[in-house]
Amino acid sequence: MVQTNNLQQMVSLDDFERLASQSLDRNALDYYRSGAQDMITLRENQRAFDRIVVRPRILRDVSHVDTRTTVLGAEVASPVCIAPTAMQRMAHPDGECATVRAAKRKQTCMVLSSWSTTSVEDVAKAAAEIETEAGSPESPRWLQLYIYKDREATKRLIERAQDAGFTAIALTVDTPFLGRRLADMRNKFQLPPHLTMANFADQAKARVAASANDADSAAENSSGLATYVASQIDPTLSWEHVAWVKRVARIPVLVKGVLTAEDAELAVQAGVDGIIVSNHGGRQLDTAAATIDALEEVCKAVRGRVEVFLDGGVRRGTDVLKALALGARAVFLGRPVLWALSCGGEEAVVQMLDLINEELRLAMALTGCVSVKDINRAHVRMPAQPRL
């Protein structure tokens, strides 16, 4: 475990990653940090933010800056939310329980992965341990969902999440097969034997073990997770499955993994309640667009009919401001949460969220914005696009 005095030296989200890389074992570190193939999209997720120029406005009273907003109608203290990341107990023994407690303390939204190493019920219990001030909004919790070949198991997970107080389903739609993640293949990634996919009692669904002999494995050097996905996740995923999830769920349904105007329009026509612009953290299709580059295209297609969110590459308060200026309702952090978890559990996640939110407040003040509603398209200039 990282020493407390090291945490006190953190001044950026990148600092958490550097410290985490010193403490995590190779199996977990490579799983968390790697992307698909040459990891071009992974790197572009961050670099694309750097190419966007902020256009500040001056001589405005910014003595009081308010970062509060809403996501699907639920109030949150900031548009910085927590993305679903799998197997968090590889980063810290408290895993997803630490993350949800941090989210509740900071009054923000957390999305729990289907591949959590803590069950939906135990995550809900952990959230209930945090007392909030009277009148404070209840931090929303969403469940990220994969559709399994075992449709009944998928249905049961939706129902359990609803019963545990989760308020939306974020359906991942970009993973009919797992992207080719070279680090995991070299390591023959597997979930440590003392951990399971805790949302599933069936051992075939709960365990991720390295296997070179599985008939469904695409190659002998496939990672354990690739084998798991090939055997368990439904590759026939289509818009009919979105309609099925909407019929089963009593709560709003978002689709996660949209990168084009065409699919954004189809999502709206399918009646989804929100869209998350995501390329799975650069872990699926390499050379796909960076999410910030795809965001405005999606928002223009949606035309305000549903809320649009973004994940991927957000590391600075200015990144948050840029995403909101281009139409995102809020952004979701993935890897920074894992790095903070590995550095110091719940307290480090709180510290990381405090840090980026302070950066956001400063960015808002220096661009003349006193509320999230003030942030608009005029605050950014996109890089010139090359002519074809």
Query: Which residues are annotated as catalytic?
Result: 280
* CA–CA dist 68, 66 (Å, integer): 6
Question: Which of 237, 68, 73, 100 lies closest to 168, judged by CA?
Answer: 73
- Could you tell me where the beta strands, DSSP code E, fall in the chain? 53-54, 69-71, 74-76, 80-82, 110-112, 141-145, 168-172, 253-258, 274-277, 307-311, 330-333, 380-381
**Separation in Å, CA 101 to CA 110, 120, 133, 175:** 10, 14, 15, 29
DSSP 312-356: SS--SHHHHHHHHHTT-SEEEE-HHHHHHHHHHHHHHHHHHHHHH
Tell me which amino acid residue 193 is: P
The DSSP bridge partners found for residue 330 are 309
* CA–CA dist 146, 21 (Å, integer): 29
Give the contacts of 144 (CB within 8 A, at least 6 positions apart): 84, 111, 112, 113, 114, 170, 171, 172, 256
Question: Token pair 């390329």 is at which residue?
Answer: 279
Structure tokens at 301: 């297609």
Question: Which of 277, 291, 295 lies closest to 377, judged by CA?
Answer: 295
Roughly how many angstroms between the first and final C-alpha of the chain, as a whole number? 51
Beta strand 141-145 pairing with 110-112? parallel
Structure tokens at 198: 């805790």
Question: Which of 281, 356, 332 lies closest to 15, judged by CA?
Answer: 356
Residue 369, number of CB atoms within 10 A of its CB: 26
3-state helix, strand, coil split of the chain in percent (to 5) is 45, 15, 45
